Amino acid sequence: MNYCSHCGAPVHYAIPDGDNRERHICTACDTIHYLNPKIVAGCIPVWEDKLLLCRRAIEPRHGLWTLPAGFMEQGETLSDAARRETREEANAEVELDELHTVITLPHVSHVQMLFRARLTAPVFSPGVETLETQLFREEEIPWDELAFETMRRTLRHFFADRRRGLFQLHVEDIPQAPPKGG
């Protein structure tokens, strides 16, 4: 950040009065510009014993598989965001169940929040950011071609919980980018 989005004057980086962190502060109008983590909302769409994955048509991780998820928008609820992303990426309608994972990635300031969900019908197709949509049984999951470490963890927890017959919420962090995946 170099300029004030309110008045266009240059910003400087300093600790505001009463704060304890450096912020971008406007040199003209004194507006303090805060940066905040982003929420990635999505779901695990289930049909019978299978899950719906999407193969990414966009960077990062073009060509790799992911659960439908994306940035929550201003003015929507967390649930609406999860359903909207599923609609946009997979042309699929879901009914959301419980929240399944809340995973923080502090190095990129993302908090990924994925619900378990049921497809209302086995109807889906690639959205504009998707190359391919497909239902997978557990033994068919393309573990080596998953786009993100967060998705790998979410799927692992899902199958472990399902085998145990007890779903629960998993709140965890991925402290820094792993060597492969993200």
| Residue 75, both tokens | 């003015």
Q: Does 7 bind a copy of itself (CB under 8 A)?
A: yes
Amino acid at 144: D
Q: How many CB atoms lie within 10 A of CB 84?
A: 17
CA atoms within 13 A on the CB side of 115: 21
Q: Which of 109, 122, 125, 178 binds a copy of itself (CB under 8 A)?
A: 109
Q: Does 98 bind a copy of itself (CB under 8 A)?
A: yes
Q: Which stretch binds a copy of itself (CB under 8 A): 28-36, 116-124, 137-145, 158-166?
A: 28-36
Cα–Cα distance measured from residue 19 to residue 42, given in angstroms and rounded to the nearest whole number: 34
Compute the least distance from the CB of residue 127 to a copy of itself, in Å.
11
**CA–centroid distance for 169 within its chain:** 16
Q: Which of 14, 15, 29, 123 binds Zn ion (CB under 5 A)?
A: 29
Q: Name the DSSP class of 138.
A: G
Compute the least distance from the CB of residue 147 to a copy of itself, in Å.
19
Helix-, strand-, coil-residue percentages of the chain, each rounded to 5:
20, 35, 45
Cis peptide before 175 (omega within 30 of 0): no
- Nearest Cα neighbor of 119 from 39, 176, 48 is 48
Compute the least distance from the CB of residue 64 to a copy of itself, in Å.
20
Is the torsion defined by CA of 44, 46, 51, 55 positive or negative?
negative
Which among Zn ion, a copy of itself, none contacts residue 176 (Cβ within 5 to 8 A by kind)?
Answer: none
Q: Does 12 bind Zn ion (CB under 5 A)?
A: no
Compute the least distance from the CB of residue 99 to a copy of itself, in Å.
5
Binding track, positions 30-69, relative to a copy of itself; x by CB under 8 A: ---xxxxxxx------------------------------
Q: Please report, as ranges, the residues that interact with a copy of itself according to CB under 8 A.
A: 1-8, 10-11, 18, 20-21, 24, 33-39, 71-80, 88, 98-99, 102, 104, 106-107, 109, 111, 113, 128, 169, 171, 173, 175
